[in-house]
Amino acid sequence: MRKVAIVGAGMTSFGEHFGLGIKDLVPMAFAECAASVDKGVAKADIQAAWFGELSTSDGFPSGILADSCGLLDIPVTRVENACATGNDAVRNALYGIASGAFDVALVVGADKVRESASKDTFWEWAGMTRDMAWDYPLGLIAPANFALHVTRYLHESPATREHMAMVAVKNHRHALPNPKAQLRHEITIDQVLNAPMVVEPFGLYDCTPQSDGAAALLLAAEEVVDRFTDRPVWIRGVGLGVDRVMHQHKRDMTTFPATVRAAKSAFAMAGLSPSDIDVAEVHDCFTGIELISYEDLGFAERFEAHKLVESDSTTIGGPLPVNPSGGLKAKGHPPGATGVAQCVEIFEQMRATAANQVDGARIGLTHNIGGPTAVSAVTILSRDRD
């Protein structure tokens, strides 16, 4: 396969964009992405597009991207894979270029969570990504769904709600310098622990906010990278993993096999290991999920994730900063946009232009997990081609 690099990246701010529709947000992200391309890009250069989107009720998604961005002469493919959608869109575009079918492709992720014509709230819509025969009738929408895992994890491991609170405090602090983040304010351990309970063991500050937003990436084959930039960020590895849907069929609630499989595939493709990662954007839809994911991604031994937050290892200045953007917890989480926005963050980290820069970062990882904890996507980016 041909090598593929990201040559441009951009995103909107994440937040409650009541005054903007998906048809506004998508071209805003595309425009910032195009403006970031060092040597410029013309719409005629783009040969295909992949659009990651879940919950929009504003019309036909692929047509929205093509029409709002003036890309009517190229194929546009919509990708939907629960909260793994954004990174899966990157994976699909990568293979489109690596196969030789295209030289240049656009990846966009977007969602309007705060407004929906068909559902009153995001969580009601999100129920439709669960098993409809058993889980949904029992009320296992996302908070309850993930709470089953974290409750069991807290029971079997030394981790506590205080460790979960440390994740929330860290990610809020990381979001402070990020102008695109939704929640740019610090919180304390006590605030997290004493917040209103959403579903045990998640209080309000353990949960990601509902967000609108869009993000975009421009990908190019190695043969044409020099037309766009002299400082590409290479996609070294991608992986997608799945797991059983119904919770009664999952053998171990303290791990996410989908993440383990996705990470194994991405690291194998990249020829790298977890110890090579300098910075990571990890799916922290709920604080306890970041802890479990440390272990599934290979950053910590089983049931030792709490040691990373206790030692500030995953804080900026530590050996493995996680979620320097603020993560889903503070940057925000428009599901279709999240994985693409994670890659925007790592792209900027690799080019030393990030709002919350990790010194010397050369290799970065992005990670999503979604649905009934049944799908995960991992992407590994690097300043170096090999």
Give the HSE-up count for residue 144: Cα atoms under 13 Å, Cβ half-sphere.
Answer: 13
Task: Please check whether residues 369 and 334 belong to one and the same domain.
Answer: yes
Digit-coded pLDDT (tens) for 171-195? 999 999 999 999 999 999 999 999 9
Active site positions, annotated: 83, 333
Alpha-carbon separation of residue 171 from 26, 110, 249, 287, 308 (angstroms): 26, 22, 33, 9, 14
Digit-coded pLDDT (tens) for 290-343? 999 999 999 999 999 999 999 999 999 999 999 999 999 999 999 999 999 999
Treating both helix axes as pointing N-terminal to C-terminal, what angle do 287-296 and 142-156 enclose, rounded to 10 degrees? 60
Q: And the tokens for 14?
A: 């994440």
Q: Is residue 293 part of a domain?
A: yes
CATH code of the domain covering residue 101: 3.40.47.10
Q: Number of structural domains, the chain?
A: 2
Task: Please check whether residues 162 and 70 belong to one and the same domain.
Answer: no
Does the pLDDT at position 118 exceed 70? no
Task: Please check whether residues 288 and 354 belong to one and the same domain.
Answer: yes
User: Domain of 146?
Assistant: 129-208+235-382
Task: Please check whether residues 42 and 103 belong to one and the same domain.
Answer: yes
Burial of 307 (0-12, 13-18, 19+ CB in 10 A): middle
Does the pLDDT at position 124 exceed 80? no
Q: Are 93 and 48 in contact (CB under 8 A)?
A: yes
Q: What is the mean pLDDT of residues 223-236?
A: 98
Task: Please check whether residues 133 and 70 belong to one and the same domain.
Answer: no
Does the pLDDT at position 125 exceed 70? no
Q: Is residue 124 part of a domain?
A: no
